A = this chain, B = another copy of it.
């Protein structure tokens, strides 16, 4: 059969798993120490081996290319050890690539979770800062992209912070299930050598140890869970991106992105497009695909190890990269976005029918109507206002009387209450749109960040 190099390339995972080099070296160091205890290798020999492994760990980029990172490390060791090259073959004892790769992946994910949580924390802090700086700015709140009710900008964007708090919580729950040592499970059955797996786990800084060797090498749910955590972060960022893309369109015009976070056109000289946010939005797709990928990959797979599982790293590494890159961008957006408070105010006045709920609430309170009746009355009022071509806040007492039977005192009280910029601050329920609630949330968020990160 010809085509050897093509075949070799097809099988190789080195282009992927070289990313795991330092973890692989670390695992091999601890493993060698264990083999000394079991007298598989002599202390002096182990020292030579460990010395070489440490060098590799510190310069993983020097590893020779091979079928995969594990063989690559072995080959590199052989080259380094020269006359002692036989030592390299010792570390295979009582161990398989099956348990080694899972060990590497778990060490990798643990580090990445710490990094991602840090980035999430940064984003939350940026949101809090933006919220504090604009704590009393009111804007139109939308449902169905239709003006709905006035709302505090600060309250609105704090909702994103809560999304990311939950994302952190999820990553931390996931971490518990990743932080489990599998080394010593060997091919899948364990080994007839006496290996102290607990000591190995402790030295590799794993909190737990896997209970079943078959499970250890066969399952990849810890990767799926990690990617799922990334996917919800991306879902959240895709929505923030969408919102900010809308708001930076001049038709909304509530925000302006700094030039550094926009990009021009080769044909249209006027353009400053929100390309960064569009890419964040688009890249959410990728992590969704990665989640699907790991799940579909594992579906129907008989135990224990099958080579299909080599592809797990395709999805794992992609997710990690995308989520970290995008978190950086989103933080920069929150740090640098410029608010157009005047446009926000203008739109509040322009779409003053968003006060309808407030009027209905007032009618319930004062006239003892059921909310359904009050709702109907206000609906009539709006139809009336459209007919006479007035805005809702322009309706006078007479206008009101043609629809609702209220006293002039009540009317005055209502008018007083309908100051559009203030309505958005008056949702006094717990967690509602009001300055005091925003302040409470910020305090709570800050204490959670200390607790979680």
Which single residue of chain B is at the shortest CB-CB distance from A39? B365
Sort A-B residue pairs by CB-CB distance and give the 7 closest, nearest first.
A190-B432, A89-B372, A282-B308, A190-B427, A89-B370, A144-B273, A278-B307
**A202 lies within 8 A of chain B by Cβ:** no
Contact partner, A88, options B279, B372, B433, B444, Cβ 8 Å: B372
**A325 lies within 8 A of chain B by Cβ:** yes
Interface residues on A, range: 35 or more
Q: A47 contacts which chain B residues (CB < 8 A)?
A: none
A142 near B221 with CB under 8 A, answer no
A360 near B269 with CB under 8 A, answer yes
**Interface residues as binary, A202-226 with B (CB distance below 8 Å gives 1, 0 otherwise):** 0000000111111110110100110
Known: A144-B274, A146-B274, A288-B299. 16 other contacts (CB 8 A): A3-B332, A70-B266, A86-B373, A89-B370, A94-B429, A97-B266, A98-B267, A141-B304, A143-B305, A146-B248, A151-B188, A162-B211, A187-B265, A224-B232, A286-B293, A291-B292
| A62-90 at interface with B (beta carbon < 8 Å) | 67, 70-71, 74, 86-90
Stretch among A117-125, A153-161, A394-402, A408-416 lining the B interface: A153-161
Given A162-B212, A218-B159, A268-B148, verify A235-B298 contact (CB < 8 Å): yes
A93 near B364 with CB under 8 A, answer yes
Q: A286 contacts which chain B residues (CB < 8 A)?
A: 293, 311, 314
Q: Supply 29 A–B pairs (Cβ within 8 Å), ascending by A.
A: A7-B260, A7-B261, A11-B276, A71-B266, A86-B370, A86-B372, A92-B370, A92-B375, A93-B364, A94-B429, A141-B214, A142-B249, A142-B302, A142-B303, A144-B274, A144-B275, A146-B250, A148-B268, A159-B303, A162-B210, A163-B221, A186-B429, A198-B430, A209-B431, A218-B239, A235-B295, A250-B351, A270-B356, A291-B291
What CA separation (Å) do A115 and B365 show in the bound complex? 43
Give chain B nearest CB distance to A146 CB in angstroms. 5
Stretch among A18-26, A52-60, A103-111, A166-174 lining the B interface: A166-174
Give chain B nearest CB distance to A144 CB in angstroms. 4
B190 near A7 with CB under 8 A, answer no
Contact partner, A147, options B250, B353, B431, Cβ 8 Å: B250
Q: What's the number of copies of this chain in the assembled complex? A: 4
A429 near B184 with CB under 8 A, answer yes
A430 near B332 with CB under 8 A, answer no
Given A141-B304, A308-B281, A310-B279, verify A187-B357 contact (CB < 8 Å): yes
Contact partner, A210, options B142, B309, B314, B431, Cβ 8 Å: B431
A143 near B431 with CB under 8 A, answer no
**A33 lies within 8 A of chain B by Cβ:** no
What CA separation (Å) do A275 and B7 show in the bound complex? 11
B235 near A224 with CB under 8 A, answer yes
B96 near A266 with CB under 8 A, answer yes
A194 near B429 with CB under 8 A, answer yes
**A297 lies within 8 A of chain B by Cβ:** yes
| A176-191 at interface with B (beta carbon < 8 Å) | 176-177, 184-191
Given A187-B149, A266-B71, A303-B239, verify A431-B212 contact (CB < 8 Å): yes
Q: A267 contacts which chain B residues (CB < 8 A)?
A: 92, 95-98, 186-187, 357, 360, 371, 375
**A134 lies within 8 A of chain B by Cβ:** no
**A197 lies within 8 A of chain B by Cβ:** yes
Given A279-B307, A310-B282, A329-B10, verify A185-B432 contact (CB < 8 Å): yes
**Interface residues as binary, A352-396 with B (CB distance below 8 Å gives 1, 0 otherwise):** 011011111100110000111101101101100000000010000
**A112 lies within 8 A of chain B by Cβ:** no
B429 near A10 with CB under 8 A, answer no
Q: A148 contacts which chain B residues (CB < 8 A)?
A: 187-188, 265, 268, 271, 304
B143 near A211 with CB under 8 A, answer no
Give chain B nearest CB distance to A11 CB in angstroms. 6
| A16-61 at interface with B (beta carbon < 8 Å) | 40
Q: A142 contacts which chain B residues (CB < 8 A)?
A: 249, 302-304
